[in-house]
Chain A
């Protein structure tokens, strides 16, 4: 009985971490589907979102909800500008150029955050910090539960947006056939910048949801590597797949951390990724070369 409760607790904690991976992976996938660019700075955008929320809430003393919403909006605007000013110029360039550019942007964001906010870990108070929810024998942290609930809600909102609104369907259309979207009078470039805005906003949500569980620091964006594994496991192109991939990575990681000797936890996402690439070698690279021009 106690074992079962422990297992459940591990699964919930793992699912919470996995939701964070999944949200970052979702950003990868949205941008990739629309523009065929892989944005390796996605994790660093999450870090920026976390720091902006920290400034607004801990420094300027805004209410948690107001600060969080404002931080999401600011990060989304940043994502829009990033595409409109910089990334739009490399559309159509070789993948290698895009990879180098986004890796370089990641470096710049980390350095910029270090200059602006310093290299120490920071945090802010949330309504979920250090609270627990007791369900029978099970004691769960509200911080972890809030991540899961927040992710589910966000996915619901995104689902409705992409399938029911005119702009959302136009985003799908532009991702599926850019030229035809132009022929429909859809301002495709602006639509792509808006997709970057959504990806950045989603990354900011991840950073904010994560903050009661782990501190915000300049290097937290390296979570993006695990999120990348999640995206690949999910098929790199499927939005539900990226979330499922994230949750799989998160749960496997938690279980490995508990049941396997120390050190295994850190490599599990890579092991899962490798297993995936061996079982489905067409995974990422088939998607990259099989794209339409």
Chain B
């Protein structure tokens, strides 16, 4: 296997005395799209925050392009080429759509490239161009998600971190946005680390997947394989045939881990 772009190695992250991540290892190869699945509270957001430097891991390494970035500040991590689309969009509500996008390019010094990437974002999401002079706070949830993704794209990332882009969106909109995420991955060659509760769409879109449970990775495999596993079907794809029995089996399985 080639040298991964990102290697997260056995990280442990705490909120004060509470340990949220208990030794998670994840790899993302260049141009690869990796997903981390997990229920609410599993620790998905914490993993992404640890990678982007908002939280420092107590133990473990985060190696990006051969450099340990575990203790860097978030603005330094971004300058390394990792752009984060946070949970809940987190746009700048009183800036216009266009100003939000330009803030995504804050660190760049190539005005021509910035203009080209603005056009690129507008081709992926024509809605944003229509609304470019509106305040971001007035956009719908779906439009805000488009804005958050585009704003990260404006930073010309090598690795894009996506935190639950499907949250609160209609199934149709989720389909559309994930289609574009996949296109961004393929057409721009941007590696993507996507965390999701919506296992259906994530497994269909990504190449490789991890399942996170209470701060630990319990399963990892190619998405094409994961999607056919019985336990994944039962607990993440909602195809429950035998609820009580299944739950018992899952517990047994977890003890083996």
Contacts and interface: CB of A to CB of B under 8 A. Distances in A.
Interface of A: 166, 169-170, 172-173, 176-177, 179-188
* Dominant secondary structure at the A interface: helix
A169 B92 CA distance: 10
12 contacts: A170-B103, A170-B106, A172-B94, A173-B92, A176-B94, A179-B86, A181-B92, A182-B73, A183-B84, A184-B155, A185-B75, A186-B75
B44 to A, nearest CB: 17
A185 B95 contact: no
B74 interface: yes
Contacts of B152: 183
Contacts of A170: 103, 106
B102 A183 contact: no
Contact of B54 (A173, A176, A182, A184): A182
Interface in B198-225: none
Given A169-B95, A169-B99, A184 B104 contact: yes
Given A173-B95, A184-B78, A184-B151, A179 B103 contact: no
B95 A184 contact: no
A180 B91 CA distance: 7
Interface in B80-96: 83-84, 86, 90-95
Contact of B74 (A166, A172, A173, A183): A183
B86 A183 contact: yes
Contacts of B74: 182-183
B155 A185 contact: yes
A183 B83 contact: yes
Interface residues of B, number: 26
For the complex of A and B, 10 pairs with smallest distance between CB atoms: A185-B78, A185-B107, A182-B74, A180-B90, A183-B84, A176-B92, A173-B92, A185-B75, A173-B103, A184-B106
Contacts of A183: 52, 74, 78, 83-84, 86, 90, 152
A176 B93 contact: yes
B77 to A, nearest CB: 9
B79 interface: yes
A180 B54 CA distance: 11
Interface of B: 52, 54, 73-75, 78-79, 83-84, 86, 90-95, 99-100, 102-104, 106-107, 151-152, 155
A133 to B, nearest CB: 39
A223 to B, nearest CB: 30
Contacts of B107: 184-185
A186 B75 CA distance: 6
Contacts of B94: 172, 176
A184 B104 CA distance: 5
A170 B103 CA distance: 7
A181 B99 CA distance: 13
Contact of B95 (A166, A176, A186, A188): A176
Nearest to A187: B75
A182 B95 contact: no
A180 B75 contact: no
A176 B94 CA distance: 7
Given A183-B84, A185-B78, A172 B90 contact: no
Contacts of A180: 86, 90-92
A172 B52 CA distance: 22
Contact of B106 (A172, A176, A179, A185): A185
B75 A188 contact: yes
Given A176-B92, A183-B86, A169 B103 contact: yes
Contacts of A176: 92-95
A172 B95 CA distance: 8
B92 A185 contact: no
B90 A182 contact: no
Contacts of B106: 166, 170, 184-186
A181 B93 CA distance: 12
A187 B95 CA distance: 18
A193 to B, nearest CB: 14
Contacts of B95: 169, 172-173, 176
Nearest to B90: A180
A177 B151 contact: no
A183 B54 CA distance: 9
A188 B53 CA distance: 14
